[in-house]
A and B are shown apart, each in its own frame.
Chain A
Amino acid sequence: MDTLLTAEIAANAPRYRRKSSTFIDGIHDVTADQDMAPAQLYSTMSGRLFHSGRIAIVMVGPPARGKTHICVSMARYLQWLGVKTRIFHLGDYRRATIGPEGTVPEDYFFPNASPSSIILRQKILKKCREDIYAWLNHENGQVAIYDAVNPTASGRRSLAKEFANHDVQTLFIESYVDDERILRENARNVKISSPDFAGMDPDKAAELYLKRIEMRIPMFETMNEKELNYIKMINAGAKFFYNNVSFNYLSHRIVFYLTNLHIKSRTTFFARAGTTAEGEDSYKSDGPLCEEGRAYAEKMAETLFKHREQEHAEKVEKGDHAPLRPLSVWTSTRLRTVQTADYIKDKGFTVRQRSQMSQINPGACEKMPERLIRQLYPDEVEKHELDPYHHRYPRAESYHDLAVRLEPIILELEREQNDLLIIAHESVLRVLYAYLMHCSTMDIPFLKFPRDEIIEIIPAAYQNEAKRIHIPGLDPRVLVSSPGFFNGTPSAASLSSMLATGTPTGNLSGHVTPNVDGLSSPPDTSVERPPEKVINTAKDMVADKVDDED
C-alpha cells in the first residue's frame, strides 16, 4: 500500500529510526501496530474517534513559512490524542519520482508550465494522492496531512471537491508570513545548510534563498475562499483567521493547539525527584526528601547550571550572541518534587507546582511483593502483561490515565518560551518524553530515567532530539531504579527471566531494600539510553528533506 513512501523514507532519511530505539523521534514512523495512542480518550471499532470522519489537512504556503514544523507538531499532538494521523510531504514524492540524479524543471511551479512539466507534476500528485486514499480507506487512517505549496485558489477548490467525492472532509491550514524577520529567520534556520549556500554569509544566503523561491513560485494566492474550511496562521501565530463552514471538533482542537505553538527554539530538561527515607517512599505517605535526596537535588541543579553555561559559551564562540535563555522550573505538588526544586528556587528561579504532574497512582498493589500480587490478582497480572500501557491494577491509574491527565501540561509545554526543567516522578517523565519523542505505547512503561542523568530535549522543525547529561558523584543509594511492579510492569529483564524460569525472580516489590546477596538492584544495563552526544544534529539529518521547494 505505502511501499513507495516507506521505501522512499528509508532511502532518503540518513538515520531512519531503528525500530528498537526510543531515543530518536519517531514522529515520521509508520505505525505497524493497532495500539491506542498515549492519550486517546475512547477506542472504537474502526480505530477512528467518533467525533469526526476522515479528514485531509492540506497545508498552504510557499517554502520557508514553517509548514514542516507545523505539520510535524500537529501530527505529534493529534497522534497523542489518538487520532490516526500521517504526514504526506509532496517533496518526498517528487524526489522519489525524479530520482537522486534528476533535477526539477525550472518551470515546475509556473502557472504556464510546459506540457512535460505539467505531466510530471500530475504524475507526482497522483502518486501522493493515491497514498493518501490508501491511508484513509484501507489503513484506518483518520487524518492525512498533505504538505505541499498548494498555491492557487482554483487548485485548492478542486482538491477539496476531489476529497469530498471520496467522503473526506478538507481543512486547509495556510501559514502566511509577511514579516521579513520571520522569513529570514526561517530561511536561516533550516534552508541554508544546503550545499548551494556553503561558505556564504548566513544573512546573504537567506536573502538569496527567499529570492529564489519567489522566482520559482511566481504565483501564489493567499486563501480567501469563503466556501472552504481553513485556518490562516499569520506570522507564526501572531494572528489566526478561521473560516469554519462546517462545525468540527478536530478543527477547534487544532486551533487551540496552534495558538499555543511557537517556532522559537528552546530546550526541555527532565530530572527525577530526590529520594525519601525508607518507609516514607510510598505514594500515600508523600514523604519528604531524606539527606541523600537533598544532596542529589543540589548536585542535579549544579550539573544543570554548568551544562547550560557551557552550551551558551559554545554558542557565543560560534558567533551566536543571543543571551542565555531564562529557565523555568515545574514540579508536581508531591513533596519530593517540590523539595527537589528548593535548591534551584533559592537561586532565584521561578518554580511552579502543577497538580496534574503527580506520579501515577499505584492503587491497591502499592508495596506489595510481586508474589502476593500474583496470588491476589492472577487475572489482573495476565491482563497487565498483555497491555502494560492501558491496563490498570485495582484502584490504580494506567499510563493511559496519566497521559490524559497530563494533556494541559503538554499544551503549556508547547507555549513555554523559556528553557524548562521538569522535576517529576519517573512515570510522569515517561509520558512527557513519549509525547516529545513519539514513542510507541508499548515502550512507554519501560522507559528508564536513572537519577544520575538529566535528559535534554532539543526541538527542531523536522524532529526532536534527546541528549543525556551525566550527574557525577551521586550517592549510589539514590541510583536504584524506580521500584517496579506498580509503576508499570516488571522490567523487561525480569520479565524475560520470569518467562525462562516460570517464577518471578529478583526484588520487584515496592521496597528498594537490597537483595539477599547484599547488592542493591543493579542498574539495568539492557535498557537503551540516549546517546551522550548526538552526532547528526537534526539540521544535518534533514537537510536534504527541507532545502528544496516542497
Chain B
Amino acid sequence: MPSRTNGVGVQVEETKICVVMVGLPARGKSFIAQKAQRYLQWLSIRAQVFNVGNYRRNDAPHPTADFFDMNNEEGERKRRVAAESAIADMLAWFRSGGVVGILDATNSTKERRKWVMDTCSSNGIEVLFVESKCDDEDLIMANIRDVKTTSPDYRGQDPEQAASDFRNRIKMYEKVYQTIDEGNGEDEYTYLKLMDVSKQVIINRIQDYLQSRIVYYLMNLHIRPRSIWLSRHGESLYNLDGRIGGDALISSRGEAYARKLPELVRQSVGDDRPLTVWTSTLKRTIATARFLPSHYNQLQWKALDELDSGVCDGLTYQEIKDRYPEDFAARDEDKYNYRYRGGESYRDVVIRLEPVIMELERSEDILIVTHQAVLRCIYAYFMKKDQAKSPWMNVPLHTLIKLTPRAYGTEEERYEAKIPAVSTWRGKGSTAKHENPTPESL
C-alpha cells in the first residue's frame, strides 16, 4: 500500500507513477493512454505506454475469441505471461529514469489490479488506476468498427467477421469484469474512473500535483470531431533581413498572404462555420489575421508570442555567431534546451504553452496564427515529434496546416497560398540569411 499520502514531502521530480488502464475492450483505453503519453512527453516528462496486447501477440498473433475465455488455461497462461513481461519491461524502464509508465491492458479483475499494485508499490512506484467504463452501445460499436477492425489481431480478415469475433471477446471479459469500487476493498487505491464518456467521474486519493495534472488533462479530453488550423504570420520585414525576434511589420508579400488567408481558410474548412482565431500579441500575427471574417471570434494570447531570443533579439545568425560564438555553438548542440541569454529555450516555450494546449483539447475548431518556434512546439504536440528534431523542423511561411485528431494519431493537410516568401529555415551550424530546407527537416 502506498504510504505517502496526499503529497507530504513528495517532489514531482522524485515521483514515479504507473498509470494503469482499466476497462473492457473498446472503451477507448488505448486512445486515453496514447493521449496521456503524448501530453506528458511533450512536457518533457518521460512517459511510455506498455501495451500488453503487443506482448501477447508475440505468442498468439491472431487469437480467436475463445482464447480470452477465462476457462481456457492455455490462453489464460499466455495472457498472464504477456502482462508479466510488459510489467518487467516497464520496471526496467522506470529504473532507467522513466517517470510515468502507462500500462495499457484491461486489468479487469480485482486480483490482477492487486498484483499490479503490489508489484509497483514494492518498487517504489505510485499507481494511478484510470478506468473507462461505458455502457453506451452505439459508442462501443463505433469504437469497435473504427479501431478494432484495423487491429493487428484481425489483419487480413473480413471486417464483419472480425467485429463479431471481437464482440465475443468482449463477452468473455464481461464474465469476469469487476469495476474499481470501494466495495471491492480498493478504497485505498488512487484512481480516476470515467463513466459514460466522463458524464460521471470518480477521483480517489490523488497523491500529488502530477497526478492531479494527469487527471485534469484526461477530464478535458473529448472525442467530438474537430480540426485545428495553424499558420505562421505573413512574411515580415525581419524575415527579409534574416533577423530573429523583434516586432516587425509584415512585408508586401506578407500582406498579400494576409489577404489570401480568408479564402485559404474557407477552402479548407469547407463550409461557413466560424472558427475561433488565436493570435500572439505581436504586430505580425495580428496583421496577418486582420482580414478574417468579422464573425470569427479573435483572441490574443501572450503565450503565443515568439520564443524570446534575449540578447540576440533583432540580430542575424551571422551577428549572433560573431558576438556570441559560444552561445551559437551551444544552441546548435542542443537547440531544445538552449536558453538564449536573458531569453527562452524551446523547453521554456513548451511550459508556457501548456495552458494553450489544455484549452485546445477542450475546444473545437480553432485557427492559430503564430510564430515559427511556437508553431513547431504545438505541431510537435499533435504530431508526436521528437524533441531533438522538432526545433529543426521546416515550417514554411504562407502555408496553412490543418490538423485533425483521430483515435490513433493526427491527420495533417497543408494548403499553400502560392505567394512567394523567403525561407527562414536554418540548418545546423549555418549562418546563411536564407537557405533551402534539407529533405529530413520536412
- Chain A residues, Cβ within 8 Å of B7: 415-417
Is B291 in the interface zone, CB < 8 Å from A?
Answer: no
Q: Mark B218-246, 1 if CB is under 8 A from A, else 0.
A: 01101000000000000000000000000
Query: CA–CA, A239 to B355, complex, Å?
Result: 25
Q: Is the CB of B247 within 8 A of A394?
A: yes
Known: A252-B219, A284-B342. A240 touches B202 (CB 8 A): yes
- Chain B residues, Cβ within 8 Å of A356: 351-352
Q: Is the CB of A350 within 8 A of B11?
A: yes
Is B92 in the interface zone, CB < 8 Å from A?
Answer: no
Count chain B residues whose beta carbon lies closer than 8 angstroms to a beta carbon of A.
44
Known: A252-B219, A355-B351, A392-B281. A284 touches B310 (CB 8 A): yes
Q: Is the CB of B8 within 8 A of A417?
A: yes
What are 7 contact pairs spanning A and B, CB under 8 A?
A: A50-B297, A241-B200, A242-B201, A252-B216, A259-B206, A400-B302, A404-B355
Q: Is the CB of A415 within 8 A of B198?
A: no
Which single residue of chain B is at the shortest CB-CB distance from A284? B342
Q: Is the CB of B302 within 8 A of A401?
A: yes
A101-109, A133-141, A405-413, A421-429: which one contacts chain B? Answer: A405-413
- Chain B residues, Cβ within 8 Å of A395: 247, 313
B79-87, B161-169, B207-215: which one contacts chain A? Answer: B207-215
Known: A260-B212, A284-B311, A404-B355. A238 touches B205 (CB 8 A): yes
Is A529 in the interface zone, CB < 8 Å from B?
Answer: no
Is B329 in the interface zone, CB < 8 Å from A?
Answer: no
Query: CA–CA, A356 to B350, complex, Å?
Result: 11
Q: Is the CB of A239 within 8 A of B205?
A: yes
- Chain A residues, Cβ within 8 Å of B310: 284
Q: Is the CB of A404 within 8 A of B297?
A: no
Which single residue of chain A is at the shortest CB-CB distance from B276? A50
Is A286 in the interface zone, CB < 8 Å from B?
Answer: yes
Nearest Cβ on chain A to B13's Cβ, whole angstroms: 7
Q: Mark A98-127, 1 if CB is under 8 A from B, else 0.
A: 000000000000000000000000000000
Query: CA–CA, A255 to B192, complex, Å?
Result: 12
- Chain B residues, Cβ within 8 Å of A412: 209
- Chain B residues, Cβ within 8 Å of A411: 209, 212
Q: Is the CB of B220 within 8 A of A239?
A: no
Q: Mark B370-397, 1 if CB is under 8 A from A, else 0.
A: 0000000000000000000000000000
Query: CA–CA, A259 to B200, complex, Å?
Result: 16
- Chain B residues, Cβ within 8 Å of A244: 198-201
Query: CA–CA, A165 to B173, complex, Å?
Result: 46
Count chain A residues whose beta carbon lies closer than 8 angstroms to a beta carbon of B.
48
Is A163 in the interface zone, CB < 8 Å from B?
Answer: no
Is A418 in the interface zone, CB < 8 Å from B?
Answer: yes
Nearest Cβ on chain B to A47's Cβ, whole angstroms: 16
Is A262 in the interface zone, CB < 8 Å from B?
Answer: yes
Q: Is the CB of A283 within 8 A of B342?
A: yes
Is A352 in the interface zone, CB < 8 Å from B?
Answer: yes
Q: Is the CB of A415 within 8 A of B209?
A: yes
Nearest Cβ on chain B to A50's Cβ, whole angstroms: 7
Q: Is the CB of A239 within 8 A of B311?
A: no
Which single residue of chain A is at the shortest CB-CB distance from B303? A404
Is B362 in the interface zone, CB < 8 Å from A?
Answer: yes
Q: Is the CB of A249 within 8 A of B362?
A: yes
Is A243 in the interface zone, CB < 8 Å from B?
Answer: yes
Q: Is the CB of A417 within 8 A of B219?
A: no
Is A377 in the interface zone, CB < 8 Å from B?
Answer: no
Q: Mark B305-348, 1 if CB is under 8 A from A, else 0.
A: 00010110100000000000000000000000000011100011
Query: CA–CA, A247 to B7, complex, Å?
Result: 29
Query: CA–CA, A456 to B208, complex, Å?
Result: 24
Is B299 in the interface zone, CB < 8 Å from A?
Answer: yes
Known: A249-B362, A401-B302, A415-B209. A326 touches B9 (CB 8 A): yes
Query: CA–CA, A400 to B301, complex, Å?
Result: 11
Is A159 in the interface zone, CB < 8 Å from B?
Answer: no
Query: CA–CA, A259 to B207, complex, Å?
Result: 9
Nearest Cβ on chain A to B377's Cβ, whole angstroms: 15
**Interface residue from A50, A405, A418 paired with B9 (Cβ < 8 Å):** A418
- Chain B residues, Cβ within 8 Å of A405: 303, 352
Which single residue of chain B is at the shortest CB-CB distance from A238? B205
Query: CA–CA, A285 to B216, complex, Å?
Result: 37
Which single residue of chain A is at the shortest CB-CB distance from B355? A407
Is B70 in the interface zone, CB < 8 Å from A?
Answer: no
Q: Which residues, 20 to 77 on A, are CB-close (under 8 Å) to B?
A: 41-42, 50
**Interface residue from A249, A286, A418 paired with B341 (Cβ < 8 Å):** A286
Q: Is the CB of A259 within 8 A of B201?
A: no
Query: CA–CA, A401 to B302, complex, Å?
Result: 7
Nearest Cβ on chain B to A459's Cβ, whole angstroms: 16
**Interface residue from A259, A350, A394 paired with B215 (Cβ < 8 Å):** A259
Which single residue of chain A is at the shortest CB-CB distance from B359? A41
Q: Is the CB of A256 within 8 A of B302?
A: no
Is A397 in the interface zone, CB < 8 Å from B?
Answer: yes
Q: Is the CB of A238 within 8 A of B220?
A: no
Is B204 in the interface zone, CB < 8 Å from A?
Answer: yes
Is A245 in the interface zone, CB < 8 Å from B?
Answer: yes
Known: A240-B201, A394-B247. A259 touches B301 (CB 8 A): no
- Chain A residues, Cβ within 8 Å of B343: 284
Q: Is the CB of B201 within 8 A of A256?
A: no
Q: Is the CB of B313 within 8 A of A415?
A: no
Is B360 in the interface zone, CB < 8 Å from A?
Answer: no
Known: A239-B202, A417-B8. A284 touches B302 (CB 8 A): no
Query: CA–CA, A407 to B353, complex, Å?
Result: 12
Q: Mark B284-301, 1 if CB is under 8 A from A, else 0.
A: 000000000000010101
Is A150 in the interface zone, CB < 8 Å from B?
Answer: no
Query: CA–CA, A78 to B281, complex, Å?
Result: 24
Which single residue of chain A is at the shortest CB-CB distance from B203? A240
> Which of A50, A245, A286 has most B Cβ within 10 Å?
A286
Query: CA–CA, A70 to B375, complex, Å?
Result: 39
- Chain A residues, Cβ within 8 Å of B198: 244
Query: CA–CA, A407 to B209, complex, Å?
Result: 13
Q: Is the CB of B201 within 8 A of A286?
A: no
Query: CA–CA, A262 to B347, complex, Å?
Result: 31
Which single residue of chain B is at the shortest CB-CB distance from A246? B199
- Chain A residues, Cβ within 8 Å of B11: 350, 352
Which single residue of chain B is at the shortest CB-CB distance from A354? B351
- 4 closest Cβ pairs, A-B complex: A284-B342, A256-B216, A242-B201, A240-B203
Q: Is the CB of A41 within 8 A of B301?
A: yes
